[in-house]
């Protein structure tokens, strides 16, 4: 087993070598060094606020959810700019440490480096990039194994991203390979500068395989506890700790719950059910007003805006 490397020291481009980064809260790297961090998948300001108020310590800008919010499947149909705008919106609504899905980096190594820099500027503290051929496909939504780029190309992209982001930002390399090939790729990605490895739900078939991966790559793992998958069912806190997971994403639970509730409310309204009856089963108006921040806005208005008499 190689020596355990919680995180790699990375070279930084000159822009970051002279920059002092001040963070008032623990960084995502700090949090994951202390134990398992759960990050729910959010896609806009409202879901970011809800997750923040629920008590989570970190958030995930879920590519699956961001794509779904645009009415699209998770097949890299949206652009880097659309993904980036969603991340900026999430950051405006919550200051919790945020890990972002940057898909394939939206091009070659040079494109990936530019993408990573843009997401750092937007305030993310972690990002994961996959080794699929672009445009990617969500592996749990397609039947056949997805197409991957070569290890050489993948490691070049990882090196380019690592050299383009500051040390406090976690670089998480995702692999959609399976079995021994996945471990081989993971080892190469760590050598190229990845802080964590992200196997997908189809990468391994057993908990023992996950444990072997952690032992052989020597860095923490990130897991996606995607709704209706075996990892969601079997990866208890004890299992996550055993296999070396330090960042556990909950990427689709909130999305599925939201879609289900919205579909049912719309069905009832379309069927002619009185709106008041539908509203009785929903969040009360005054609760939503408080959730969305009206009291804070009204307080600022009283503090800064002139009164009617002063006008």
Q: Does domain 14-258 have CATH number 3.20.20.60?
A: yes
Q: What is the pTM of this model?
A: 0.88
Instruction: Determine which of 35-44, 57-66, 301-310 has the lowest per-residue pLDDT on average.
Output: 301-310
User: What does the pLDDT read at residue 309?
Assistant: 65
Sorted by sequence, the CB contacts under 8 Å of residue 1 that are 6+ apart come out as 215, 216, 218
Sorted by sequence, the CB contacts under 8 Å of residue 65 that are 6+ apart come out as 41, 42, 43, 47, 251, 252, 254, 255
Widest CA span of the chain, in angstroms? 75
Residue written as token pair 């930084």: 12
What mean pLDDT do residues 28-38 have?
97
In contact, 12 and 163? CB cutoff 8 Å: yes
Residues facing residue 192 across a β-bridge? none
Cβ count near 227 (within 10 Å): 17
**pLDDT band for position 310 (50/70/90)?**
low
Question: Would you say residue 31 has pLDDT above 60?
Answer: yes
User: What does the pLDDT read at residue 162?
Assistant: 98
Instruction: Determine which of 138-142, 231-235, 261-265, 267-271 has the lowest per-residue pLDDT on average.
Output: 138-142
Q: How many Å apart are CA 38 and CA 58, to the nearest integer?
A: 7
Q: Where do the structural domains in the chain lie, given as residue ranges? A: 14-258
Pairing type for strands 245-250 and 196-199 reads: unpaired
Q: How many Å apart are CA 18 and CA 35, to the nearest integer?
A: 31
In contact, 101 and 62? CB cutoff 8 Å: yes
Q: Is 179 left (phi over 0), alpha (psi -120 to 50) or beta?
A: left
User: What does the pLDDT read at residue 45?
Assistant: 97
Question: Would you say residue 214 has pLDDT above 90?
Answer: yes
- The residue among 17 and 75 whose pLDDT is bigger is 75
What mean pLDDT do residues 49-69 have?
97
Give per-residue pLDDT as tens, 115-168. Answer: 999 999 999 999 999 999 988 777 666 667 889 999 999 999 999 999 999 999
User: What does the pLDDT read at residue 135?
Assistant: 82
């Amino acid at each position: 087993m190689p020596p355990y490397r919680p995180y790699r020291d990375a070279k930084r481009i000159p822009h970051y070598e002279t920059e002092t980064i001040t963070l008032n809260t623990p960084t995502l790297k700090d949090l994951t060094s202390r134990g398992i961090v759960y990050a729910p998948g959010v896609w806009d300001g409202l879901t970011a606020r809800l997750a923040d108020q629920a008590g989570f310590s970190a958030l995930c800008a879920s590519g699956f959810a961001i794509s779904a919010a645009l009415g699209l499947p998770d097949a890299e149909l949206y652009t880097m700019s659309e993904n980036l705008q969603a991340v900026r919106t999430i950051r405006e609504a919550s200051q919790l440490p945020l890990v972002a899905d940057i898909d394939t980096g939206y091009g070659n190594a040079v494109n990936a480096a530019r993408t990573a820099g843009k997401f750092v500027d937007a305030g993310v503290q972690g990002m994961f990039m996959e080794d699929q051929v672009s445009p990617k496909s969500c592996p749990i939504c397609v039947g056949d194994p997805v197409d991957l780029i070569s290890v050489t190309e993948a490691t070049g992209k990882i090196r380019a991203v690592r050299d383009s982001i500051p040390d406090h930002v976690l670089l998480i390399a995702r692999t959609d390979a399976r079995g021994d090939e996945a471990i081989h790729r993971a080892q190469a990605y760590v050598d190229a500068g990845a802080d964590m490895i992200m196997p997908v739900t189809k990468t391994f078939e057993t908990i023992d395989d996950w444990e072997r991966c952690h032992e052989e790559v020597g860095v923490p793992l990130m897991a996606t506890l995607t709704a209706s998958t075996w990892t969601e069912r079997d990866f208890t806190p004890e299992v996550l700790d055993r296999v070396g997971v330090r960042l556990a994403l909950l990427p689709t639970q909130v999305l599925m719950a939201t879609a289900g509730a919205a579909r049912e409310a719309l069905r009832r309204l379309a069927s002619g059910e009185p709106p008041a009856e539908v509203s009785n089963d929903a969040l009360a108006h005054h609760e939503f007003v408080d959730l969305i921040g009206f009291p804070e806005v009204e307080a600022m208005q009283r503090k800064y805006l002139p009164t009617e008499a002063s006008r």
